[in-house]
Chains A and B, each alone.
Chain A
Amino acid sequence: MIKLIGRIALPTYFWIFVAWLFLPLAVMAAMGFRDSNFVAFPIQSWTTDWYRSVLTDREMSASLWVSLQVALISTAMGLVIGTPMAFMVARFTGAIRALLIAVIVLPAFIPIVVASISLRMFIGNFGFSTGIMAVAFGHAVSSVPFVVVMLLTRLNSMSTNLTDAARDLGADDFIVFFRIVLPYLAPALFGAFMFCMLLSFEDFTRSFFLGSFDPTFPVLLFAKLRFGFDPGLAAISTLVLIVTIALGLYAERFSRRRKLGNQGQVTAIGDNGNG
C-alpha cells in the first residue's frame, strides 16, 4: 500500500505540479494567436498578426533595449565588485568570515520595496537622479551577493599550487590573476554573468522605483496591465519568456558541463525576488 503511494501518488503529484507551472504560460502563448482585440476564450479564429506586430512595436522594443542596457551595465558592475569581494572573503576564516558574509548577503534579506526606496533616497545625496544608471546600480546591489557566493564555491576548491608555481617562475600578481586565477574562475564567472543578466532582466520592483521615463520591459508591461490587456501583450510576453528560458537553460547546461563529476548539482540559477 505504502509502496503504491510512493510509486504512483508521488509522481502523479509531481506531474500535476509541472502542469500547474506550465499551463498558464501555454495559455498566454495561445492567447497571442487570438484574432481579436480582446482577451477571451475560447479562441475561435487564429492569427499570427499579434506576434508579427509586436516585433515592430516601437514602445516595446525601446523598453527591451532599456532592459538590455540595464542588464549589461548592472552585470558588469556586479562582476567587477563581486569578484574582488569573493577574494576578500576567501582570505578570512571563522567569525570574521561569517560576519563579512552576513553583511554581504544583507541586501537579499531586506524586503525589495524597502531596499529600492532606500537606494533611491540615498543616490539623491549625490545628485544622482533616477534613470537607467540608477536602475543598474539597484540591480548590481542585489546581484553582488549572488556573485560572491557563486565565486566563493569555486575559489574554495582552488589549490594554491598553481599560483605558487607561477610566482616561483617569476609571474607578478597581475599575471597570476589574469592568467591563472581568472581562467580557473571562468565557469563560475560565466554562471554569475548569466545569473545577473536574468536577475536584472526580470526585475520589476527595483526598476519601478529607481527608473524614470524610459521603462524597462517589466515596468512597461506592468503599466499596461493595470489598464487592461490585449493579445499583443500576451504575444510579446511569450517571446520574452521563450528567450529567457532558452538563455537560462543554456547557462545551466554550460555551467554543468564544466563541472564534471558534480552530477546532480544544479547551480543556484533561480529567480529574482529577494535577490
Chain B
Amino acid sequence: MTAFFIWARRFAAYRALTELLARSPGARLFATALLPVAWILLANLAPLVQMLVISFYESYPLAEGTSAELTLRHYMAFIERPLYLSAFARSFIFATIVTALTLVVMFPVAYYIAKGAPRQRRVRLLLLVISPFWISEIIRSFAWMLMLSNRGAVNSFLSFIGYSGPPLDLLYNNVSLTIGVLYLTSLYMLLPLYSALEKIDDNLLEAAADLGATAPRRFMRIILPLARDGIVTGCTLTFLLIVGLYAMPLLLGGPSNTLFATIIGQVFGRAGDSWPLGSAFSIILIVAALAYVGIFMTIVQKRPRRQG
C-alpha cells in the first residue's frame, strides 16, 4: 500500500495536498472534520429542526406555489383531545413504573456478576446474560407470545400441574407488555449498573464491615451512593427506550392501552395533513421526555451525601 502512495507522489496535486496537510494543522483539521460536521448537521440536527418547523405548519407537504401558513392548531389538538393526552400520560406512567421495575430486577443481577461471582467467571456470566440482547425486538416479542398465548407454554404448564379452569388470558394486556418490555430493557440497565458496581473497591466494604456496619447499612451508605451514576445512566436509557417503543406495544399490549409513540406512528401512517400533527406530537414527546429525564437527574444527583 505504501508503494501506491509513493507512486502517487509523481503527481503535483498529491504533493501539494500532502505538503499542505503537513504544514498547516488547520488544513488537517478541515480535512478530517468536513465529512463529520456535514453529517452532524444533516443527519443529527436538520431532521429535528425540520420537524419542529413542520409542526407549526397548517399543512404539509405544501401545495405547489403556496407558502406555509403557521398555526398552533396541532399543539392545541394534543391538549384538547383526551385520547391523545391520556395516551401520553399512560406512556409516561408506564415507562416510569417499568424503569423502576427494571432497576429492582437488574440490581441483584448486576451485583452478583460484579461482586458475587468469582472474578474469572465474570466475563462469561456477563456474556451469557448479554447474548439474548443481540436478537431483534420482534423475535423476542414473538417468543413471549408463544409463552403467554392461550395455548402457550405457561397455560399448558398450568394444566399439566393440575389447573383445570379455562386458560388464563395472559397475552395482550399490561402484564404481558410489562414482561416483554422488561425483557427488552434489562440490558440497558445491566451494563451501566455493572460498570459502576465493578469499580467499587472491595476494601471499602471490608473496612465498613470491620468497623461494625451491618449489611443493610453498607448497602445504603457505600454501595448505593457509589452505584448512583450507573443507576442514573441505566434509568435514563431505559426510560427513553420505553417511551419510544412502537412495535412491542402493538404485539404484546392490549388494544385499550395504546401508548403515545404508537399513536405518533399511526398519525404518520395516515394521509393528508397529519404530518404536522405527528410532528407536533413528536416535539412534545422529545421535549417532555428529555425534561422528565433532566429533572430526574438533577434530583438524584444534587442530593447531598449525609454525614455520619
Binding site for B on A (CB under 8 A): 2, 6, 10-11, 13-14, 17-18, 21-25, 27-28, 31, 38-42, 80-81, 84-85, 87-88, 91, 103-104, 106-107, 109-115, 117-122, 124-125, 137, 140-141, 144, 167, 171-175, 178-179, 198, 201-205, 208-209, 217-218, 221-222, 225-226, 229, 233-234, 237, 240-241, 244-245, 247-249, 252, 256, 263-264, 266, 268-274
B267's nearest neighbour on chain A, judged by CB, is A117
Contact B184 A172 (CB under 8 A): no
Contact A40 B108 (CB under 8 A): no
**Cα-based distance from A268 to B133 in the complex (angstroms):** 12
| Chain B interface main SS type | helix
Interchain CB contact (< 8 A) of A263 among B111, B117, B123, B237: B123
Taking the closest CB of chain A, its distance from the CB of B276, in whole angstroms, is 10
Given the interface contacts A14-B108, A245-B134, A270-B130, does A113 sit within 8 Å of B156 by beta carbon? no
Apart from the given pairs A25-B135, A110-B244, A174-B5, 8 other A-B contacts in the complex at a CB distance below 8 Å: A2-B214, A39-B149, A88-B29, A103-B44, A107-B44, A218-B136, A245-B135, A266-B130
Name the A residues within 8 Å of B137 (CB-CB).
202, 204, 218, 272-273
Name the A residues within 8 Å of B1 (CB-CB).
178-179
Pick the interface stretch among B45-53, B74-82, B222-230: B45-53
Given the interface contacts A28-B146, A118-B282, A121-B54, does A274 sit within 8 Å of B240 by beta carbon? yes
Binding site for A on B (CB under 8 A): 1-2, 5, 8-9, 18, 21-22, 28-29, 32-33, 35-37, 39-40, 43-48, 50-51, 54, 61, 105, 108-109, 111-113, 116-117, 119, 122-123, 125-147, 149, 151-153, 155-157, 160, 183-185, 187-188, 191, 198, 214-215, 237, 240-241, 243-247, 250-251, 261-262, 264-265, 268, 275, 278-279, 282, 285-286, 289-290
- Listed by A's residue number, 22 A-B pairs whose Cβ atoms lie within 8 Å are A10-B112, A23-B147, A107-B44, A111-B286, A113-B245, A117-B51, A117-B264, A119-B47, A122-B46, A137-B43, A167-B22, A172-B22, A173-B21, A175-B5, A179-B1, A204-B138, A217-B136, A218-B138, A244-B136, A270-B188, A271-B134, A271-B188
A248's nearest neighbour on chain B, judged by CB, is B134
- Count of A-B contacts judged by CB separation below 8 Å: 286
